Amino acid sequence: MSAAVRLLILGTGGMANRHAMEFATNSDVQLVGAVDVDIAKVRGFALRHDIATSFTSLDEAIEWGEFDAVANVTPDRIHYPTTLQLLAAGKHVFCEKPLAETYERADEMARRAEESGLINMVNLTYRNVAPVQRARQMVLAGEIGRIRHIEASYLQSWLVSKAWGDWATEDQWLWRLSTKHGSNGVLGDVGIHILDFAGYGAATEVDRIFARLKTFEKAPGNRIRDYDLDANDSFTMTAEFSNGAMGVIHATRWATGHLNELRLRMHGEKGALEVVHTPTGNALRACLGDDVEKGQWQDLDAGTTATNYQRFIEAIREQQNREPSFRHAANLQKVLDIAMMTEVERREYAVAEPVAVPQIKLISG
């Protein structure tokens, strides 16, 4: 492919601005269209990002057809129908996470994408963190030996801080707290990120898990306007990994003092690694060689890495799919679905077991 990839932005909310800005910096991309049901919103977005054509329905955009690929930045519950429609129209898709609300739907999306031969990627944004890429390389090279223990956390504080806005008055936050508005809570929203961060960095996958979910009281009756605030706010998970390691994974929106922090620690027979990502920067630390005996850590230079946005366009130009693919995201969704099952049944599950997510009676506190 010699000409620039013609890209359509589907959905023009907050994250869509990031997509537009990232893709606009790539000389191999031409932003040709934008879609949103809100005509004022889509026209403002198109004007802001110098996009010539805008639509208020995906049907209209597909009928127009003058695009090669789509960044699907719609709300979580809209990913499934719109992505299937785009694949049927022969368009490459770069989808926001989670791929779908359930494994059943995510699996169907992955199968359809695989059958189509089209490029499909999910924007697991923390693949863009250079330290986790460098850590994975070190793990695969055997620099810390066989990993025995993994610790991973994703800490946010927007339920106790207004640094990102007032969640109690803004719809962009309230929907994330309401299951009827398509949210699977912190587990569905950032759980997929920390599972990917841990599994990718440690070059392994989850085999067995046991999880607990909890929803805290946030308003009288846990309700604001038409939002029932019933989605989980925190989760903890114990896991066994395919590389033999044991691990603990947890996430919360109540992490006072931590605006948006991901942390991964991997302890091996020969050494250990720690990856930290915060809004102000990233870090990679290692305890290797003689430092193991002293318990001393050294900062490492992780270099730079290509972004998911860049990898997606490269994949289209090379006609070779790259990770993180729909299949990978579907497999992560299966772990999340099983986590919900373990909450209800209070037993450990193997990821290889069938998934049939039941209705969950949330625990409030």
- The 10s digit of each residue's pLDDT in 30-40 is 999 999 999 99
Calculate mean pLDDT across residues 155-174. 93
Confidence of residue 23 (pLDDT cuts 50, 70, 90): very high
363, pLDDT greater than 80: no
Residue 60 has a pLDDT of 98
Residue 238 has a pLDDT of 97
CATH code for residues 127-309+334-350: 3.30.360.10
193, pLDDT greater than 70: yes
Residue 303 has a pLDDT of 96
356, pLDDT greater than 70: no
pTM, two decimal places: 0.91
Confidence of residue 361 (pLDDT cuts 50, 70, 90): very low
Provide Rg for the chain, Cα atoms.
Answer: 21
Calculate mean pLDDT across residues 50-64. 98
Q: Is 37 exposed, middle or buried (0-12, 13-18, 19+ CB in 10 A)?
A: middle
Return the closest-CA partner of residue 223 out of 162, 174, 165: 174
For a pLDDT cut of 70, what percent of the chain falls above it?
97
Residue 76 has a pLDDT of 87
Residue 362 has a pLDDT of 43
* Pairing state between β 227-228 and 69-72: unpaired
Sheet holding 69-72, edge to edge: 53-55, 29-35, 5-10, 69-72, 92-96, 120-123
As separate numbers, helices (DSSP H) first and strands (DSSP E) second, the chain gives: 12, 17
Calculate mean pLDDT across residues 60-75. 97
* Class level of CATH domain 5-125: alpha beta
Calculate mean pLDDT across residues 169-176. 91
Answer yes or no: are the C-beta atoms of 247 and 198 closer than 8 Å.
Answer: yes
- The 10s digit of each residue's pLDDT in 226-270 is 999 999 999 999 999 999 999 999 999 999 999 999 999 999 999
Residue 358 has a pLDDT of 52
Q: At what angle do helices 191-201 and 130-140 cross, to 10 degrees?
A: 40
Tokens 């841990």 — which residue? 198
202, pLDDT greater than 80: yes
Calculate mean pLDDT across residues 322-346. 95
Residue 1 has a pLDDT of 53
For a pLDDT cut of 90, what percent of the chain falls above it?
89
Q: Where are the beta strands (DSSP E) in the chain?
A: 5-10, 29-35, 53-55, 69-72, 92-96, 120-123, 147-156, 206-214, 223-224, 227-228, 234-241, 246-252, 260-268, 272-278, 281-287, 298-299, 349-350
**Please, what is the average pLDDT of the chain?**
94
The answer to whether the Cα torsion of 306, 187, 119, 82 is positive or negative is negative
364, pLDDT greater than 80: no
Domain ranges of the chain: 5-125, 127-309+334-350
